[in-house]
């Protein structure tokens, strides 16, 4: 472990969700102690908790995130499958309706996404992270029912976190200060880092938001008969010109999650009967049959704040030393692209690699880590914002020539990817966060996208797969 000025080699992680637990793993062996500050109390077993409201909704875990998770905590993806996660090959096992029709079902074997409920994913990762912590020289303590309320230090240096215990605290004091050489903010989309910066006397980080006004409503089902379980998932993304969408995916124990969505104010209802009526308007026969033959296992849950938002903590001089921001606290994405959890894992891995390179936390390490986090976040941001920008609310800017050309190319590429194995493989590599955007301009991809005639995709959901 590296010697830190003043001998302080303690770290604090704010938020004990997915990103927080992976941040703990990244810190193991690099600091003497890690204190996790988590507002919630963890539930018994793998069940829902209030601090992660999006956990009611469908979550797909992409290949790029799986690789990062296994690099941090080897064997975790196998553990998720053992806990009931369904492994779905793309595009074979998830039928996708694109703007030009249904995507062909290539049996390509490149990307196996994991579909499971968030409580199971978070629970398995937490158990494995805490087991890894118990076997490490780093002491890890989790303070449940404890909320971070601010940072200590000044505009140049964060020195700790102010916390408030929801139960009055172990020594009877509700509020106290925990000192640390390194503080990681993993408190998710509700992170108060900008306000905390102001309290330290510095400007809030520059923030970009691109919002298509998407909202979700989700319900869990179980087929009434054993053979009533559909073989595939379905994804029909909504668009401003065709605002309603739907997706359904199998999860653990034979259950299915059905999410319906609407953009720009076409909010899906959370009333059970209206939800069924809304899902019938998507025009997908599989969804209609699924709902008709299935037993609902949950109420309908809604979710509205689905904007893409990136806070630029990595700009030179943007952040005080000793403070790093990961996961949704740093960057959130329109969930239809399924990227947030993967970016969280990639960010935690970037933190560990920075600590490995620098030999533990030193002056300036937080800035290096934040830059590394920004680099691994960029491809997902470009995918989500590239697709959403043309449809975003409050974006009256006239696009320049470059943006119009890119839009033309991406539109053509998306249409081609639905029917072409070469372009489709490149498209999925980028979407699943295993390849940089430059993969989309590889010579073979450009040639097929630009030179081959534009053709519609399939008129109906494909029932058979195609070898490649």
CB burial class (10 A; 0-12, 13-18, 19+) of residue 240? Answer: middle
**3-class secondary structure, 63:** helix
Rounded to a whole number of angstroms, the minimum distance from the CB of residue 460 to ligand FAD is: 26
Query: For residue 147, what are the contacts with CB-CB under 8 A and spacing of at least 6?
Result: 37, 39, 163, 164, 166
Please report, as residue ranges, which positions from 1 to 30 form the binding site for ligand FAD (by CB under 6 A).
14-20
Of how many residues is the chain composed?
Answer: 468
Stretch that binds ligand FAD, among 54-62, 170-178, 370-378, 424-432 (CB under 6 A): 54-62
CA distances from 331 to 145, 149, 314, 317, 344 (A): 25, 21, 12, 19, 9
Q: Is 59 in the site for ligand FAD (CB under 6 A)?
A: yes
Please report, as residue ranges, which positions from 339 to 378 form the binding site for ligand FAD (by CB under 6 A).
339-342, 344
> Contact with ligand FAD (CB under 6 A): which of 123, 188, 237, 461?
188
Stretch that binds ligand FAD, among 188-196, 288-296, 410-418, 446-454 (CB under 6 A): 188-196
> Contact with ligand FAD (CB under 6 A): which of 26, 28, 37, 132?
37
Closer to ligand FAD by Cβ: residue 214 or 419: 214
Rounded to a whole number of angstroms, the minimum distance from the CB of residue 347 to ligand FAD is: 9
Closer to ligand FAD by Cβ: residue 101 or 188: 188
DSSP string, 353-401: HHHHHHTS--TTHHHHHHHHHHHHHHHHHHHHHHHHGGG-TT--PPP-H
**Strand ranges inside 4-100, DSSP E:** 10-14, 33-37, 60-61, 86-90, 94-98
94-98/101-102 β-pairing: antiparallel
Please report, as residue ranges, which positions from 298 to 317 form the binding site for ligand FAD (by CB under 6 A).
303, 306
Stretch that binds ligand FAD, among 193-201, 332-340, 381-389, 425-433 (CB under 6 A): 332-340
Residue 353 CA to residue 362 CA, distance in Å, equals 14
> Contact with ligand FAD (CB under 6 A): which of 2, 29, 32, 40?
40
Q: Is 322 in the site for ligand FAD (CB under 6 A)?
A: no
CA nearest to 303, candidates 447, 144, 118: 118
Rounded to a whole number of angstroms, the minimum distance from the CB of residue 438 to ligand FAD is: 23
Rounded to a whole number of angstroms, the minimum distance from the CB of residue 41 to ligand FAD is: 10
Closer to ligand FAD by Cβ: residue 197 or 216: 216
Rounded to a whole number of angstroms, the minimum distance from the CB of residue 91 to ligand FAD is: 16
> Cβ distance 443 to 426 under 8 Å?
no
> Contact with ligand FAD (CB under 6 A): which of 30, 57, 67, 311?
57
Closer to ligand FAD by Cβ: residue 215 or 319: 215
> Contact with ligand FAD (CB under 6 A): which of 328, 388, 420, 429?
328
Residue 353 CA to residue 34 CA, distance in Å, equals 18
Residue 276 CA to residue 278 CA, distance in Å, equals 5
Total number of residues that touch ligand FAD (CB under 6 A): 39
Tokens 């920008």 sit on residue: 389
Tokens standing for residue 109: 């074997």
For the window 147-166, what string marks contact with ligand FAD as x by the rule CB under 6 A?
Answer: xx------------------
Footprint on this chain of ligand FAD (rule: CB under 6 A): 14-20, 37-40, 51-52, 54, 57-61, 147-148, 186-190, 216, 303, 306, 327-329, 335, 338-342, 344
């Amino acid at each position: 472990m590296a010697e830190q000025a003043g001998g302080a080699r303690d770290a604090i992680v704010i938020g004990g969700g997915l990103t927080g637990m992976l941040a703990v793993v990244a810190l193991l062996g690099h600091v003497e102690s890690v204190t996790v500050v988590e507002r919630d109390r963890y539930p018994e077993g793998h069940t829902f908790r209030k601090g992660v409201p999006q956990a009611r909704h469908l979550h797909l875990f992409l290949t790029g995130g799986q690789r990062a998770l296994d690099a941090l905590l080897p064997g975790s993806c196998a553990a998720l499958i053992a806990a009931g996660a369904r492994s779905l090959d793309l595009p074979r096992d998830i039928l996708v309706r694109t703007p030009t029709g249904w995507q062909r079902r290539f049996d390509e074997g490149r990307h196996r996404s994991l579909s499971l409920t968030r409580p199971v994913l978070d629970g398995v990762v937490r158990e494995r992270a805490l087991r890894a912590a118990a076997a490490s020289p780093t002491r890890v303590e989790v303070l449940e029912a404890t909320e971070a309320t601010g940072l200590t230090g000044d505009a140049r240096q964060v020195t700790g976190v102010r916390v408030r215990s929801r139960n009055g605290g172990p020594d009877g004091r509700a509020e106290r200060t925990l000192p640390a050489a390194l503080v990681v903010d993993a408190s998710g989309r509700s992170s108060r880092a900008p306000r905390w910066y102001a309290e330290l006397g510095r400007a809030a980080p520059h923030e970009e938001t691109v919002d298509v006004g998407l909202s979700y409503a989700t319900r869990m089902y179980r087929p009434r008969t054993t053979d009533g379980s559909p073989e595939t998932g379905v994804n029909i993304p909504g668009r401003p010109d065709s605002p309603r969408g739907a997706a359904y995916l199998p999860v653990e124990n034979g259950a299915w999650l059905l999410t319906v969505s609407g953009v720009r104010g076409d909010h899906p209802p959370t009333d059970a009967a209206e939800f069924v009526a809304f899902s019938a308007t998507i025009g997908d026969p599989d969804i209609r049959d699924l709902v008709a033959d299935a037993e609902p296992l949950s109420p309908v849950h809604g979710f509205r704040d689905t904007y893409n938002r990136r806070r630029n903590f990595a700009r030179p001089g943007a952040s005080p030393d000793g403070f790093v921001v990961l996961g949704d606290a740093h960057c959130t994405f329109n969930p239809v692209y399924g990227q947030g959890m993967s970016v969280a894992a990639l960010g935690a891995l970037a933190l560990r690699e920075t600590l490995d390179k620098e030999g533990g936390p030193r002056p300036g390490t937080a800035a290096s880590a934040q830059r590394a986090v920004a680099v691994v976040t960029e491809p997902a941001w470009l995918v989500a914002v590239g697709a959403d920008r043309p449809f975003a609310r409050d974006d009256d800017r006239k696009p320049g020539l470059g943006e119009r050309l890119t839009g033309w190319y991406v539109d053509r590429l998306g249409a081609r990817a639905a029917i072409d194995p070469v372009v489709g493989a490149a498209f999925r590599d980028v979407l699943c966060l295993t390849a940089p955007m430059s993969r989309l301009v590889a010579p073979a991809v450009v040639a097929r996208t630009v030179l081959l005639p534009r053709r519609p995709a399939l008129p109906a959901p494909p029932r058979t797969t195609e070898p490649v």
